[in-house]
Chain A
């Protein structure tokens, strides 16, 4: 375990050192996230401007969902996209061989190798949005703490789904864009799940668990969470994580490397 920590620290410090070479990129990323934030707020505003409300969600409460969505976006830009989108290239070029030869878990290596600070502005803006909405609603400090566990579970679920999609590249080399499909569907997390018609709700709860990624943590922050949903999201994330590990072991059996 300790070895993994040390390796992780090395991975990320080199990654940050490399990214700091391109400081201008960070400025661009910050401006883009600000633009994205304004756009998201505008999109939400269009619904609330004529007095309509998502059933049971006031403007401020919907802002919490949007804030969590923004954080999730930041998380995927920081930790998921730079690593998991690279699996395809490793398979294609056969460099996965080198990873498999290393004396640590290959899933760990593939999932944590780099770290891109590009998503940090999104994480910060998301936090600001939640804090603003929370102060408008007069939420106690404790409430934010309550939101943390489901948020963490959400991160784990998202990671596992993403990793499994990335792992399918062992069979189908040319499907690097399958993660784009997931990303497209995640956009649904901008809004509380009750805002969708019934068919969509079923889809976004049971097929692609978007509801667990943003709505459930938001409910926990707002003090409307229930044990059922919390347990559900914990169970789901652990299950998905375990499946992703099995899936990777299974997929590796079909890996034929570049030269064989």
Chain B
């Protein structure tokens, strides 16, 4: 099916409508949003540990680089938070998916744009926290070059898409089991330790490093964070890996979606 110009224009109109609706919705619950931002302090805790450790021990990076790295991790993590599996699971279990199936738009777009618009509502809180830590550690402040910034943001956007697709794939399991989020929780555990959230891959043992680079995990946090702070990273390879993994999961996702819809027997279906 070729994409025609009117299709594109219609798509843009839908995207804009959904974005503004969900943005208004997210801004409504600012306090809740602030707490979500604050609950992502995990990288900031590890920042303190590594900044102190690098002053006393022999590590691949120096103290200021660690701080910079973890600030970037914090940023990337905030911009790539995804919770679609919980919402989708509830929609399937309670049968609320049924009315959405009648609409002439794939239900995924609602979820996708609600995530995207939430990013914008989050921005002020993120800025305040990063500002606070830059005030605590002025020596770590850095100004990424325009190309770094552009590449870093592209990489972050792509890894958000990857994370979204992966989680939406897990969400498909809701058609078969009531607790699809259990899969996500287990995945999240591995993600915490291998994505570079607890430490940059540079301090991992060589063998673990090599192994991890074959999994999707480092492309969700480590690679975009590293690009943002201008640490040497194979950028092309990273972007390629993010896209590659996205396509793999996208294929699985669409296949499961088709099978799942046949399986779906929620209320009203």
Contacts and interface: CB of A to CB of B under 8 A. Distances in A.
Contacts of A49: 205
Given A43-B198, A177-B35, A197-B51, A32 B42 contact: no
Nearest to A195: B49
Contacts of B52: 195-197
Contacts of A235: none
Interface in B179-219: 179, 182, 185-186, 189-190, 192-193, 198-199, 203-205
Interface in A50-94: 50-55
Contacts of A50: 57-59
A156 B222 CA distance: 38
A53 B185 CA distance: 32
A52 B59 contact: yes
A225 B185 CA distance: 37
Contacts of B189: 32, 35-36, 39
Which secondary structure dominates chain A's binding surface? helix
B57 A51 contact: yes
Interface stretch (A126-134, A141-149, A185-193, A240-248): A185-193
Interface in A27-55: 28, 31-32, 35-36, 39, 42-43, 46-47, 49-55
A97 interface: no
Given A32-B185, A50-B59, A42 B38 contact: no
A114 B59 CA distance: 46
A145 B35 CA distance: 38
Interface string B26-68: 0001011001101111100100110111001111000000000
Which secondary structure dominates chain B's binding surface? helix
A42 B189 CA distance: 13
A250 interface: no
Contact of B35 (A180, A187, A196, A199): A180
Nearest to B198: A43
A55 B49 CA distance: 12
Interface residues of B, number: 34
Nearest to A178: B35
A54 B59 CA distance: 14
A174 B48 contact: no
Interface residues of A, number: 36
Interface in B91-106: none
Nearest to B204: A46
Contact of A175 (B32, B53, B203): B32
Contacts of A184: 38-42
Residue with the highest number of chain A CB atoms closer than 10 Å, among B31, B40, B49, B182: B49
Contacts of A175: 31-32, 35
A172 interface: yes
A178 to B, nearest CB: 5
B48 A47 contact: no
Contact of B199 (A32, A43, A52): A43
Interface in A133-160: none
A32 B186 contact: yes
B1 interface: no
Contacts of B51: 197
B136 interface: yes
B178 to A, nearest CB: 10
A46 B198 contact: yes
Given A39-B192, A180-B36, A52 B48 contact: no
B42 A187 contact: yes
A55 B199 CA distance: 19
A188 B98 CA distance: 43
A207 interface: no
A184 B36 CA distance: 10
Given A39-B193, A184-B40, A177 B186 contact: no
A183 interface: yes
Given A46-B198, A52-B57, A181-B39, A174 B49 contact: no
Given A31-B186, A177-B39, A199-B136, A46 B57 contact: no
Given A49-B205, A195-B53, 12 more contacts: A39-B193, A52-B58, A55-B56, A175-B32, A175-B35, A177-B32, A180-B39, A184-B40, A185-B41, A196-B52, A199-B136, A200-B48
10 contacts: A31-B186, A47-B53, A53-B57, A54-B53, A172-B31, A180-B39, A184-B42, A188-B45, A196-B49, A196-B52
